[in-house]
Structure 1
Amino acid sequence: MSSIKQFQVTFDCAEPVRVGRFWCDVLGYVPPPPPEGFGTWDEFDRSLPPEQRGSAFACVDPSGAGPRLFFQRVPEDKVVKNRLHLDVRVGTGLVGDERLAALEAECARLVPLGAVRVRLLPADGQEESCIVMQDVEGNEFCLD
């Protein structure tokens, strides 16, 4: 019998701090404490060689329940659909109009943060409604 493993979700992106702060706002996550010897992450970042500054960002669930998110700068642009995406679970247990209202309310909260609404996938008799969105760099995610 295997034990449950902890994991982190890693995003390749052009602007790790910008994308990471967006996801902090979406999920209520926070940056972890800076490395020992540094008062802030900005102080740590300034200690790096210029080409490494702003190259990474992390955030964690303050309750400890969710996975750590890590954002790393990569040289190439995003050119195709994600093979993996996050489902932000805001409608769990809700159906019909009540579910749609919860999804729309969360969508309205996220758009001013930089999210883009892509489309509504309406309930089809097997699956409930969800809203497909993109984060500040175009990575797809769903409000589910």
Structure 2
Amino acid sequence: MTSIKQFQVTFDCADPERVARFWCEVLGYVVPPAPEGFDTWEAYKRSLPPGEPLSGFVCSDPTGVGPRMYFQRVPEGKAVKNRVHLDVRVGTGLVGEERLAALESECARLLPLGAVRGQLLLADDENESCLNMQDIEGNEFCLD
């Protein structure tokens, strides 16, 4: 049986570069260098035919530990809730007020980037507190 060592997370979106750069800020990821022969991504974009925007954009974990993230342009907008979402683990090991403070602090950092705050789900008998959020194109994710 083959053992899978790596995977990437792919997002459908309207503006791949914008969404990728948002997630770089959220996760501390980086944008790879521009394609060979171009000093910058702006120079590469200027080389594309008029009216043809980037069809995809990538960001990756600079440590190589986290998954590569690929953002691909699709013509349709988001219509329903995500079937898969990311949990951004900012409260791991924390409970009670300390966990809530960590979630709120990260939420406050992400709001100026264009994130949208959702519902705070308080701890119960089975789960710790988490905070539902949306990225700049409405994709759901959780601060966990």
TM-score band by shorter chain is over 0.9
- Using the size of structure 1 for normalisation, the TM-score is 0.95
1:95-110 alignment runs, 5 A limit: 95-110=95-110
Q: Which amino acid aligns with 2:22?
A: F
How many residue pairs match? The answer is 144
Query: Equivalents in 2 of 1:2, 1:42: separation in Å?
Result: 40
1:110 match: secondary structure: helix
RMSD: 1.2
- Using the size of structure 2 for normalisation, the TM-score is 0.95
1:16-95 alignment runs, 5 A limit: 16-95=16-95
1:117 match: secondary structure: strand
Residue 4 of structure 1: how far off its partner (Å): 3.0
Q: Is the 8 A contact 1:59 1:69 kept in 2?
A: yes
* Structure 1 residue ranges, 4+ long, deviating more than 4 angstroms after superposition: none
Deviation readout 1:8-27 (Å, 9 max, x if unpaired): 11110011111111111101
Q: Which amino acid aligns with 1:38?
A: F
Percentage of pairs with the same residue: 74
Q: Which amino acid aligns with 2:39?
A: G
Query: Equivalents in 2 of 1:83, 1:76: separation in Å?
Result: 16
1:132 aligned partner = 132
Q: Which amino acid aligns with 2:94?
A: L
Q: Which amino acid aligns with 1:14?
A: A
Q: Is the 8 A contact 1:31 1:60 kept in 2?
A: yes
Q: Which amino acid aligns with 2:53?
A: R
Query: Equivalents in 2 of 1:85, 1:70: separation in Å?
Result: 14
Q: Which amino acid aligns with 2:66?
A: G
1:142 aligned partner = 142
Query: Equivalents in 2 of 1:47, 1:56: separation in Å?
Result: 15
Residue 53 of structure 1: how far off its partner (Å): 2.0
Residue 5 of structure 1: how far off its partner (Å): 2.5
Query: Equivalents in 2 of 1:126, 1:8: separation in Å?
Result: 30
Unaligned runs of 5+ in 1: none
